[in-house]
Structure 1
Amino acid sequence: MSRSPARILGAVFQGGGNLELILPVLAELAARGHSLRVMVGPGIRRSRLPASPGLHRRLAQAGAEVVALSEPAAHPLDSAPSARALFGGWAPGAFRGASAEARTWLWAPAWAEGVAMELRRAPADLVVADFMLPGALAAAEAAGVPGVALAHTVPIRPAPGVPPYGPGWLPPAGALGALRDLLGQAALERIWRRDGLPALNMARTALRLPPLRGAFDQLDRVARVLVLAGAAFDFPARRGADAPANLRHVGTPLGDDIAGAAPAWTPPWPLSDDRRLVLISLSTLAQGQEGLMRRCLSAVGMLEGVQALVTLGPALDLARFRAPPNARLERFVPHAAVLPKASAAVTQCGLGTVAKALAHGVPLVCLPLLGDQPENAARVVARGAGLRLSGDVPPGRIAEALRRVLVEPEFRAGAARLGASLSEEGHPATRAADEIDAVLSSL
């Protein structure tokens, strides 16, 4: 057993899907009696989301003391050069988002300084940080405090036999596939080494730590990297003998609200309505999904024997959409209340939404746009749990994909098998907290 209460310092930034997965883990740590402080900063991507009062409130409700990151006078992205291509003015389409992701590490010096100052003000036994905040993990290393990284995507770091992160490629088939992956991994490592590593090494130098040679080497220097995705969800090669010794897949927390039970939902259709229910839910953040949502609504209108519940979230204006007769638009409905009744779901493939659908054996139509979404979609397709389309397909293609996942039984069977395998792995927040307690017990 760990010392109780241990002093834990968390580090998170304002985002969307990252918080929905990380907050249940922090809440579990507080529930176990640990003394939990959490440093909160603004979004690290170009959306520049401010740290919201809602995030502060949810952390306080979870039992954490909230500490605000002292933001730098100049925004890190303002003083950075423009994102560059891979070779000259060209980059493969599959990797055009990699530079933007790598540039989030321009925040490393600010987080390194903030966490180092907080550790001097009030020491901690452990630092638990979002894995996209390597500066926070470097500050823990400099202070001689063990670090734990919470990864809210499948691992970014290249691994033998696993396609490079970003494009959403399926596992390689044959020599050409293996060559594709080797070239893709080299491209990914070059982009991160060029656009992310210098800022991280600047932070490490300020902390009097030696520079790193690889962009992902900071993760080798922490006690645990806890992947908030199930082992059954990730590609098998990641879990082989070559996997880092500190890497653990703990599963995806599924709670709609860490502060209490999800609110009830009353279906808007009569109980006698036997049409199949489709859930359409895109990102809660603005990711350019308005046009995609319109095409999804048009697609549903083409289908007979189907009723659709469409959750728009805070990023889309309800007044800007008109639902077909067989669809109902809502700002928010808890997924846990809808998915037990659903026959299929349409999603951009955020990890939380995918995990919730699979937990109920619901097959998916995947329409990934950015970030980890293509990677999640690839894993759904690889397990036969759904279909994937590009985010710019016309409504007719979306309607046809929906028909297939509703009619062809192998998709529901694939989703049920994968969901059952994930369920057998145990409760994710509990498993994550157990791993953290194991680190504390070894001190």
Structure 2
Amino acid sequence: MEFAAEFEPDVIVSNELLFGVMMAAEKRGTPLALLTANLWCFPTREDVPPFGPGYTLAKSQSDLARDAVTRKLIRKFFDAGLPDLNAARALVGLPPLLHTLDQLDVARRILIGASAAFDFDADESSGRYAYCGPLFETPNWADGTAQMPDNGRPNVLISFGTTFQDQKSVLIRTMAAVETLPINVVVTLGPALADAKLPKIANVRVMAQASHDDIVPQCAAVICHGGHGTVLRPLKHGVPLVVMPMGRDHADNAARVEWLGAGVRLSERASSDRIKRALVQVLADEKYRENARRFAKRLADCDVSSRRAADWIASLTRTDQALAA
């Protein structure tokens, strides 16, 4: 609030988790837009399944009832923080809220760092939600390159994230799954697994750091945990996936991969044999690659979405200036 008083912004754009910024914008009466780096994580929409459980798009009345009950439960979880939120609001002279997620109502625009085509073909033409397209930022540690072997065998990438999720055991099971297959495999570790002691396998190359933008176009499939960037990069290049969700947004991303027909979802506890069968299925059935390529073409339209989102932010300023005049 002190900085805004000095800077006098016409619009504030903030992350969807920063409720303090939302309160400051509300107190000042400054137009607010929220930007999430992947899927929308709050149960405030009814056109897509509630975030968290990894539900697919509702196809029946029972599915709709499931979604409604889940949204209600998630809202109650957030209300555990309502007393603290209202205490903070009182400190800046704002009235109390009935529910924690009512704080989101101050945002006039919500920008989602994903493709509407990925998010169950969500409607972009109405409401206050807009899709910017995936935010394909390359991590600053991913500076390595990898030239895959040119021996006629399919190339496969295995990646289970860059932050700690206790993923060593699933990685070792996955490496065992590919050991006897006639494929070339690259495993990227990132900071979370940089010091992990892993088995040495003849057809597996382990890299502490490497750019997926460099590796993925050379691959026939990717096995991953389901992080948003790790999923969207293969789809961007028309490469199918085997997704093994481990938490966070992983299950919801995996559900969308399934819905697109661009891959297979497995439990993170799946055995090496089960992982092997899933990978063979994705490599052997051309429909997965065809569906991934079909989606890749739709991703090319994301520039249109990002321009629309930028125009939305600009419109907040124009609208307020017109009202002031």
Q: In structure 2, how many angstroms separate the alpha carbons of the residues matched to 1:257 and 1:428?
A: 23
Shift of 1:319: 4.5
Shift of 1:431: 5.1
Shift of 1:367: 0.7
Name 2:114's counterpart in structure 1: 229
Q: What are the equivalent positions in structure 2 for 1:276-295 lying under 5 Å apart?
A: 276-295=154-173
Q: In structure 2, how many angstroms separate the alpha carbons of the residues matched to 1:275 and 1:318?
A: 29
Q: In structure 2, how many angstroms separate the alpha carbons of the residues matched to 1:404 and 1:264?
A: 30
Q: In structure 2, how many angstroms separate the alpha carbons of the residues matched to 1:379 and 1:391?
A: 17
CA gap 1:182/1:150 in 2 versus in 1, 3 angstroms: same
Q: In structure 2, how many angstroms separate the alpha carbons of the residues matched to 1:127 and 1:157?
A: 23
Q: In structure 2, how many angstroms separate the alpha carbons of the residues matched to 1:230 and 1:378?
A: 15
| Residue identity in the other structure for 2:147 | P
The alignment status of 1:188 with 2:70, answered yes or no, reads no
Deviates more, 1:287-296 or 1:206-215: 206-215
Name 1:420's counterpart in structure 2: 297
Shift of 1:436: 2.6
Question: What is the TM-score when the length of structure 1 is the normalising length?
Answer: 0.67
Q: In structure 1, how many angstroms separate the alpha carbons of the residues matched to 2:308 and 2:190?
A: 30
CA gap 1:212/1:420 in 2 versus in 1, 3 angstroms: farther
- Would the aligned equivalents of 2:116 and 2:123 in 1 still touch at CA under 8 Å? yes
Shift of 1:370: 0.7
Name 2:323's counterpart in structure 1: none
Name 2:54's counterpart in structure 1: 168
Q: In structure 1, how many angstroms separate the alpha carbons of the residues matched to 2:286 and 2:105?
A: 43
Question: What is the TM-score when the length of structure 2 is the normalising length?
Answer: 0.90
Shift of 1:263: 5.0
The alignment status of 1:309 with 2:309, answered yes or no, reads no
> 1:201-238 CA deviation, whole Å, 9 max, x = no partner?
222222212222233222221131101111111124x5
Q: Secondary structure at 2:303's aligned position in 1?
A: coil
Name 2:145's counterpart in structure 1: 265
The alignment status of 1:320 with 2:206, answered yes or no, reads no
- Report the identity percentage: 34
Matching residue within 99, 107, 110 for 1:214:
99
> 1:74-93 CA deviation, whole Å, 9 max, x = no partner?
xxxxxxxxxxxxxxxxxxxx
| Residue identity in the other structure for 1:247 | Y
| Residue identity in the other structure for 1:297 | M
- Would the aligned equivalents of 1:220 and 1:246 in 2 still touch at CA under 8 Å? no
Name 1:381's counterpart in structure 2: 258
CA gap 1:277/1:422 in 2 versus in 1, 3 angstroms: same
Name 1:249's counterpart in structure 2: 131
Q: Which runs of 5+ in 1 are unaligned?
A: 1-115
Q: In structure 1, how many angstroms separate the alpha carbons of the residues matched to 2:111 and 2:233?
A: 19
Q: What are the equivalent positions in structure 2 for 1:141-156 lying under 5 Å apart?
A: 141-155=26-40, 156=42
CA gap 1:257/1:392 in 2 versus in 1, 3 angstroms: closer
CA gap 1:147/1:158 in 2 versus in 1, 3 angstroms: closer
Point out 4+ residue stretches in structure 1 off by more than 4 angstroms. 427-432
Q: In structure 2, how many angstroms separate the alpha carbons of the residues matched to 1:316 and 1:431?
A: 39
Q: In structure 2, how many angstroms separate the alpha carbons of the residues matched to 1:342 and 1:440?
A: 45
Q: Secondary structure at 2:202's aligned position in 1?
A: coil
- Would the aligned equivalents of 2:222 and 2:239 in 1 still touch at CA under 8 Å? yes
Name 1:83's counterpart in structure 2: none
Q: What are the equivalent positions in structure 2 for 1:17-416 lying under 5 Å apart?
A: 116-155=1-40, 156-193=42-79, 195-236=80-121, 238-239=122-123, 245-256=127-138, 263=143, 265-267=145-147, 269=149, 271=150, 273-304=151-182, 306-416=183-293
- Would the aligned equivalents of 2:131 and 2:306 in 1 still touch at CA under 8 Å? no
- RMSD across aligned positions (CA): 2.3
Q: Secondary structure at 1:315's aligned position in 2?
A: helix
| Residue identity in the other structure for 2:269 | D
| Residue identity in the other structure for 1:389 | L
CA gap 1:198/1:376 in 2 versus in 1, 3 angstroms: farther
Q: Which runs of 5+ in 2 are unaligned?
A: 321-325
Q: In structure 2, how many angstroms separate the alpha carbons of the residues matched to 1:373 and 1:397?
A: 19
> 1:30-49 CA deviation, whole Å, 9 max, x = no partner?
xxxxxxxxxxxxxxxxxxxx
